[in-house]
Amino acid sequence: MAQIGASVPATPKKVSTLSKRKVQTTIFILLALGPSYCGYLLFTLYPNILSAYYSLLEWNGITDPKFVWFDNYKYLFQDEYVWRALGHNLILMVTVPILTIIPSIFLAYLLNVKGYKESPLYKVIYFLPNVLAVIVIALMWSFIYDGSNGLLNAILNLFGIDNNDFYWLGSKKTAIWALLPPLIWGGVGFYVVIFMNAMKSIPPSLYEAAILDGASHMTRLRKITIPLINPIVRISTLFLVLGVFKGFEIMLIMTNGGPAGSTEVIGLYMFNMAFGKSSHNYGYASAIGMFLFVVLVIAKLLIDRLSSKDHAEF
Amino acid sequence: METNKRTFIDVIWRLIMFLCALSVIFPLLWIVLESLKTNKEFFANVWALPDKLMFENYKKAWDSYHLGSTLLNTLYYVGTSLALGTFLTALSAYVLTRLEFRGRKFIWGTIMLSLFLPGINALVPQYILMRDLGLTNSLTGLIILDSFGESVFFLMLLGGFMQSLPKEMEESAYIDGASLFQVFTRIILPLSTPGIVTVAIFKFLGLYNAFLGPFIYLSDSSKYTIGVAMYHANQIMQYKADWVTLFAGVTIAMIPTIIIYVFFQKQIAEGATLGGLKG
């Protein structure tokens, strides 16, 4: 972008101090913006463009790449592991947003409307998991799920349920469901804060009128609060869906897709295809990446349309 | 608003809110508690309190996971990226919001493009690029990757802040013969401190909590940051069954972010609502 900044023409009429000022400004802009902007072009935009090209290669990163046109994509649509992984994504994309958003709305309403003296403290506590590292969250939940020493089985034992040290992440039936709590635990507090702010912008006069009419809390929540924060709820839901679609760090740390691939999500499948211990198939991994890219960009465009409409409503 | 009469239903609401808070705090406290037991006590009964507080576990975790050098690596990576990245972000925000020049709209446009990039498809080409530049398996390489770039969220946050500053001070400084850089460091930076603090807090949390980047790029254990070190500690623990030491390690790993949260929770909650749904 150097030439754009540098080509500012000095108008002939201006005195020389002014044109000197212009030169100085140009140099400053180049030096100030240059490093980070070039870094952005090099480390963000360029790899994104390159990934489209890589997806047409058969390449392990060491030998010479072979150009195979759309073979990777053809293989992708026949690859049963891709579909299995997408199925797991689908389960999480339906459950995680619902189980995050509903408690968040409920807790935000309670925190906002019921001024209990402990409420401010709760707001701080609910948000706490959002500042924790993903490694801390993932390891903590691995400990909770452990068979003989885990917290979950210990709690069940307190209630007289003895499940023979069942290892929650070790069974194909339970492992994918066991991923829900860490994903939800890490996210609810964030949306509590988001929804609390949204609820604060609702004019109190609306509630006052409803209270005069004798509306209960439930009615007010259903008839006033939720409709008015609905745009933000919708956007939040879509962001959660997209986040779950491309996220895989929790799975990478807790199960690495196991047992027997029962927690493998599409992002993790792609990651292991590129960086896993056994295979380095950069071409195919890029094709999966491009597939995700297309789905996510379409979804993002959809969100933008929705959210711009929502601003008109407010 | 109505006066909140306390009724029986309030007891239920308060109980629910309490249980939610407990579900956040309890597992964390459980880890801290177990980190102070012996392995024998831990295996015998998860609930029992330790006979004697085993602070030795922390020493053992410190030594066996090489937390000293790991935390130095983390400090180098987080500290340098934070200082360099925040400074560069502030410069970018200043140039892009307060200076008029040709091509500015175009540059903004290309930066806004990043909102549409999910990032996941760029992992492989980015890795190859870093490899070709000789920046893999290097903390400095990771710093370069994380510091040189543009973030729409941070630019909007800081840019919005800088736009609200009055123009007059800048202009009088120009008349006094100050250069643009002097205006930036002596007027803009001090006046934007609250915005810069928010950016720095979020950068700190993002960098300290970063897992995937260090996991992909750092292969020598002597270069691990705290997140990657704990990941490998957990892998090894599965064979050694030394739980309490790992608990101590995890506790150490979460202390810095919790301290930051305690001090800056207001900025963090505000910043989250500002940018959370945009980035």
Let me know whether A163 and A111 are in one domain: yes
What pLDDT sits at residue A6?
Answer: 43
Residues A301-306, mean pLDDT to the nearest whole number:
77
Let me know whether A247 and A274 are in one domain: yes
Reading the block at residue A127, the tokens are 């948000």
Q: Does A207 touch chain B (CB under 8 A)?
A: yes
Residues 235-264 of A with CB under 8 A from B: 235-236, 239, 242, 246, 249, 253
Q: Calculate how close chain A gets to B100, using CA atoms only, in Å.
A: 10
In a domain? residue A23: yes
- Kindly tell me if the per-residue pLDDT of A36 is higher than 90: yes
Let me know whether A211 and A292 are in one domain: yes
**DSSP-assigned states of every residue in A38-86:** HHHIIIIIHHHHHHHHHTTEE--SSSPPEE-TTHHHHHHHH-HHHHHHH
Q: Which residues of B touch A132 (CB under 8 A)?
A: 209, 254, 257-258
CB B279 within 8 A of CB B151: yes
For A131, the closest of B21, B131, B261 (CB atoms) is: B261
In a domain? residue A146: yes
Q: Does B189 touch chain A (CB under 8 A)?
A: no
Contact between chains at A285 and B122 (C-beta distance less than 8 A) = no
Q: How far apart are CA B235 and CA B128, in angstroms?
A: 27
For A37, the closest of B1, B42, B150 (CB atoms) is: B150
Residue with the two structure tokens 């070190």: B229
The answer, yes or no, to whether the previous bond of B256 is cis (omega within 30 of 0) is no
Longest CA–CA separation in chain B, Å: 76
Reading the block at residue A220, the tokens are 């007010």
Reading the block at residue A27, the tokens are 């140099």
Residues 6 or more apart whose CB falls under 8 angstroms from that of A49 comprise none
What pLDDT sits at residue B139?
Answer: 96
Contact between chains at A40 and B114 (C-beta distance less than 8 A) = yes
Reading the block at residue A17, the tokens are 């101090």
Domain that holds residue A272: 72-313
Contact between chains at B148 and A39 (C-beta distance less than 8 A) = yes
Residue with the two structure tokens 């946050």: B157
Q: Which residues of A touch B179 (CB under 8 A)?
A: 24, 28
- Kindly tell me if the per-residue pLDDT of A260 is higher than 80: yes
Residues A228-235, mean pLDDT to the nearest whole number:
88
Contact between chains at A193 and B273 (C-beta distance less than 8 A) = yes
Residues B148-175, mean pLDDT to the nearest whole number:
87
CB A49 within 8 A of CB A55: no
Let me know whether A30 and A178 are in one domain: no
CB B67 within 8 A of CB B229: yes
In a domain? residue A63: no
pLDDT, greater one: A165 or B254:
B254
In a domain? residue A46: yes
Q: What is the b/e burial string over B125-139, where b = at least 16 CB atoms within 10 angstroms of the residue's CB? A: bbbbbbeeeebbebb
A58-65: list long-range contacts, CB under 8 Å, 24+ apart: A58/A281, A58/A283, A58/A284, A59/A281, A59/A282, A59/A283, A60/A279, A60/A280, A60/A281, A60/A282, A61/A280, A61/A282, A61/B128, A61/B131, A62/A280, A65/A283
How many CB pairs (< 8 A) connect A and B?
A: 272
- Kindly tell me if the per-residue pLDDT of A83 is higher than 90: yes
CB A183 within 8 A of CB A96: yes
Neighbours of A191 (CB within 10 A): 31
Q: Which of A26, A54, A82 is the last residue of a domain?
A: A54
Contact between chains at A51 and B115 (C-beta distance less than 8 A) = no
> Could you give the percent of chain B with pLDDT greater than 70?
96
pLDDT in tens, B188-197: 999 999 899 9
Q: Calculate how close chain B gets to A223, using CA atoms only, in Å.
A: 17
Nearest to B121 by CA among A50, A149, A262: A50
CB A260 within 8 A of CB A39: no
Q: Does B173 touch chain A (CB under 8 A)?
A: no
- Closest-CA residue of chain B to A123: B21
What pLDDT sits at residue A312?
Answer: 36
Residue with the two structure tokens 């689908």: A90
Domain ranges, ordered by start, for chain B: 57-275
What pLDDT sits at residue B2?
Answer: 45
Q: How far apart are CA A89 and CA A73, in angstroms?
A: 19
Q: Which residues of A touch B265 (CB under 8 A)?
A: 124, 127
Per the structure, the count of domains in chain A is 2
For B46, the closest of A5, A151, A236 (CB atoms) is: A151
Q: How far apart are CA B205 and CA B202, in angstroms?
A: 5
Phi, psi of A39 (to 5 degrees): -60, -40
Q: How far apart are CA A305 and CA B160, in angstroms?
A: 24
A182's enclosing H/E stretch is helix A180-185
Angle value at C-alpha B140, between B76 and B64, nearest 5 degrees: 50
Let me know whether A129 and A25 are in one domain: no
- Kindly tell me if the per-residue pLDDT of B52 is higher than 90: no
Residues B76-103, mean pLDDT to the nearest whole number:
94
What pLDDT sits at residue A307?
Answer: 66
Options 3.90.1150.10, 3.40.50.360, 1.10.3720.10, 3.40.50.300; CATH of B57-275: 1.10.3720.10
Contact between chains at A140 and B31 (C-beta distance less than 8 A) = yes
Q: How far apart are CA A136 and CA B254, in angstroms?
A: 7
Confidence of residue B212 (pLDDT cuts 50, 70, 90): very high
**How far apart, in Å, do the first and last CA atoms of chain A sit?**
39
Contact between chains at B106 and A4 (C-beta distance less than 8 A) = yes
Q: How far apart are CA B135 and CA B140, in angstroms?
A: 7
Let me know whether A23 and A170 are in one domain: no
The CATH number assigned to the domain holding A126 equals 1.10.3720.10
For B4, the closest of A115, A135, A136 (CB atoms) is: A115
pLDDT in tens, A236-250: 898 899 899 999 999
Contact between chains at A133 and B4 (C-beta distance less than 8 A) = no
Contact between chains at B92 and A42 (C-beta distance less than 8 A) = no
Contact between chains at A132 and B257 (C-beta distance less than 8 A) = yes
Q: Which residues of B touch A165 (CB under 8 A)?
A: none
Q: Does A19 touch chain B (CB under 8 A)?
A: no
Confidence of residue A299 (pLDDT cuts 50, 70, 90): confident
Residue B117: what residue type?
A: L
Let me know whether A41 and A183 are in one domain: no
**DSSP-assigned states of every residue in B120-148:** GGGHHHHHHHHHHTT-TT-HHHHHHHHHS
Q: What is the b/e burial string over B33-54, where b = at least 16 CB atoms within 10 angstroms of the residue's CB? A: bbbbbebebbeeebeeebeeeb
Nearest to A110 by CA among A4, A188, A3, A11: A188
Q: Does B246 touch chain A (CB under 8 A)?
A: yes
Q: What is the b/e burial string over B73-111, where b = at least 16 CB atoms within 10 angstroms of the residue's CB? A: bbebbbebbbebbbbbbbbbbbbbbbeebebbeebbeeb
Q: Does A54 touch chain B (CB under 8 A)?
A: yes
Contact between chains at A51 and B125 (C-beta distance less than 8 A) = yes
Q: Does B109 touch chain A (CB under 8 A)?
A: no
- Kindly tell me if the per-residue pLDDT of B263 is higher than 70: yes
Contact between chains at A47 and B125 (C-beta distance less than 8 A) = yes
Q: How far apart are CA B145 and CA B212, in angstroms?
A: 13
- Kindly tell me if the per-residue pLDDT of A91 is higher than 50: yes
Q: Does B86 touch chain A (CB under 8 A)?
A: no
- pLDDT, mean over chain A: 87
Predicted complex ipTM: 0.91
Q: Which residues of B touch A131 (CB under 8 A)?
A: 205, 209, 257-258, 260-261, 268
Contact between chains at B257 and A133 (C-beta distance less than 8 A) = yes
Let me know whether A181 and A278 are in one domain: yes
Q: Does A70 touch chain B (CB under 8 A)?
A: no
